[in-house]
Structure 1
Amino acid sequence: MQVAVLGPLSVQYHQESIVPTAGKPRQVLALLTLQAGRTVPKETLMEEIWGAAPPRSAATTLQTYILQLRRRITAALPRDATLRAKDVLTTSFGGYRLAVEPAAHDLYSFRDLVVGGTAAMEAGDARQAAVLLRDALALWRGPALADIPHGPLLQLEAIGMEEDRMQVLEQRIRADLMLGRYASLISELRMLTVRHPLNENLSAHLMTALYHLGSPWRALDEFRRLRETLAGELGVEPTPRLQRLHQAVLGGDVSGIQRSAGLAGLPGAVLSR
Structure 2
Amino acid sequence: MENRPRGAASARFSVLGPLGMQCDGEDRTPSAPKVRQILALLVLRANQVVSTDALLQELWGDEPPSTALATLHTYIYHLRRLLRRNGLSADGADVVITRAPGYLLKVEPHQVDLTRFRELCLSGREHLDAGRHTEAVADLESALGLWTAQPLVNINLGPRLSAHVAELEENWLCAVKLHVEARMRRGLHHEVIGELRSLTAQYPLDEWLHAQLIRALDLSGRRGDALRAYQGLRAALTRDLGLDPSPEVQRLHQQVLAAGA
TM-score where L is the length of structure 1: 0.87
Residue type matched to 1:77 in 2?
G
Matching residue's letter, 1:166: L
Residue of structure 2 in register with 1:11 after alignment:
21
Partner of 1:65: 75
Q: C-alpha distance in 1, partners of 2:133/2:126?
A: 10
Contact 2:58 2:160 in 1 (8 A): yes
Runs of 4+ deviating beyond 3 Å = 13-18
Partner residue of 2:122? 115
The letter for the 2-side match of 1:189 is L
State the 1:84 CA deviation.
Answer: 2.1
- Which whole-Å CA distance do the structure 2 matches of 1:171 and 1:92 have between them? 38
Counterpart contact for 1:88–1:99, Cα < 8 Å: yes
* More moved, 85-94 vs 158-167: 85-94
Could you tell me which amino acid in structure 1 is paired with residue 31 of structure 2?
A: T
> 1:17-166 alignment to 2 at 5 Å?
17-77=27-87, 83-166=90-173
C-alpha deviation, 1:199, in angstroms:
1.6
Q: Whole-Å Cα distance in 2 between the matches of residues 71 and 220 of structure 1?
A: 61
SS of the equivalent of 2:63 reads coil
Deviations 1:162-190 (A, max 9, x none): 10110110111111111111111121212
- Whether the aligned pair in 2 keeps the contact of 1:7 and 1:145 (CA below 8 Å) is yes
Deviations 1:2-31 (A, max 9, x none): 111100011124545442222221111100
> Residues 91 and 97 of structure 1 are in contact (CA less than 8 Å); yes or no, is this contact kept in structure 2?
yes
User: Which residue of structure 2 aligns with residue 214 of structure 1?
Assistant: 221
Given residue 98 of structure 1, which amino acid in structure 2 is its aligned partner? L
Q: 1:207-228 deviations in whole A, cap 9, x for unaligned?
A: 1111011111110100100111
Kindly indicate whether the alpha-carbon contact (under 8 Å) linking 1:126 and 1:176 is maintained by their aligned counterparts in 2.
Answer: yes
CA distance in structure 2 between the aligned counterparts of 1:240 and 1:87, rounded to whole angstroms:
56
- In structure 2, runs of 5+ residues without a counterpart are 1-10
Cα distance change, pair 188–218 in 1 and its aligned pair in 2 (3 A): same
Q: Give a deviation string over 1:57-114, Cα, whole Å, max 9, x none.
A: 1101101111111121121117xx7x22111111121311111111111100000001
When normalised by structure 2's length, the TM-score is 0.91
Whole-angstrom distance in 1 between the partners of 2:192 and 2:99: 50
Q: Which runs of 5+ in 1 are unaligned?
A: 254-273
User: 1:223 and 2:230 equivalent?
Assistant: yes
Distance 1:76 1:17 in 2: 10
The alignment partner of 1:141 has SS state of: coil
Q: Distance in 2 between matches of 1:57 and 1:139?
A: 39
1:170 aligned residue? 177
Identity of aligned residues (%): 39
- Is 1:179 the counterpart of 2:189? The answer is no
Contact 2:81–2:91, Cα closer than 8 Å, also in 1: no
Match of 1:261 in 2: none
- SS of the equivalent of 2:43 reads helix
